[in-house]
Amino acid sequence: MGQPVALAANASRRTDGIAESRRVKGLEKLTSVRLAEVLSQKGAIPAEAITDALYAQEQTGEPFTHAILDGGHITEWDLAKIVTEVFQLPFLMAGSHSLDEDAKNLLPKEVLFENLIVPLEVFDGVLTLVMPILTPFDVLNRIQRESNLEIFPYVGLLSENKKVLNENFREFAKFHEELKKKREDAAQGKGAKAAGDWMSIFDAGEEAIQSHLKKK
């Protein structure tokens, strides 16, 4: 069974009945640091690429998963498979589900566009959405607080989410291009990184990962 078919098989768990669980456990584990640690432990990506992606996220705001994929060391299918397995979340291609109008209009477009989140529907106090592989907990938690809804996230593909957002929001293409340029400008403004400055950009949890990577 190929990867697309295998992952798509997990998508059979539709949004019906999600409200029964009310709160998805373990969302606080959805962090770039945790994913970086997993990728390091699995040896899926070179240590330097992981460090570079964490640095890019810290300095330019580019999401960790986006930076990892830009490096070309892993496909989005393989990365999505790791996320579904490690964080025990279902997979769903965003284009396979119609977007509910209430869900589309619930969150500020800037939040959807910047984080490449596809909102699916709102049912009985639960907002179901598709992440671009992984959306950090701090973003999901902010959405929960501001919407006063529980969040049920699916793991999706970065490319698919871009496609669906572009098809459903006419403002997306312009916003995405401007954001891309802004991040590129930020990266250029930072210049070359100095080896001795790496540790200062990470918090205690990230320092632990850097220590782990150096031992590899």
Task: Sketch out the chain's domains with CATH numbers.
Answer: 28-186+198-215 (3.30.300.160)
pLDDT of residue 20: 41
Q: Are strands 126-131 and 150-155 parallel, antiparallel or unpaired?
A: parallel
Q: Could you give the CA distance from residue 20 to residue 30 in angstroms, rounded to a whole number?
A: 22
**Longest Cα–Cα distance in the chain:** 51
pLDDT of residue 62: 86
pLDDT of residue 178: 82
pTM for the whole thing? 0.76
| Tens-level pLDDT at each residue, the chain (216 residues) | 455 544 544 444 444 444 344 456 778 999 999 999 999 999 989 999 999 999 888 888 888 999 999 889 999 999 999 999 999 999 999 999 999 999 999 999 999 999 999 999 999 999 999 999 999 999 999 999 999 999 999 999 999 999 999 999 999 988 888 877 777 777 666 554 444 444 444 454 455 455 555 555
Contacts of 152 (CB under 8 A, 6+ apart): 15, 18, 21, 24, 126, 127, 128, 129
pLDDT of residue 23: 57
Q: Could you give the CA distance from residue 15 to residue 119 in angstroms, rounded to a whole number?
A: 12
| Alpha helices by DSSP H, the chain | 3-9, 32-42, 47-60, 64-70, 76-87, 101-106, 109-115, 137-147, 158-168, 172-190, 204-215
pLDDT of residue 214: 57
pLDDT of residue 10: 46
pLDDT of residue 91: 97
pLDDT of residue 187: 67
Structure tokens at 208: 């632990």
Q: Are strands 126-131 and 118-123 parallel, antiparallel or unpaired?
A: antiparallel
DSSP string, 94-111: GGGSPPPHHHHHHS-HHH
Based on its alpha-carbon atoms, the radius of gyration of the chain, rounded to whole angstroms, reads 17
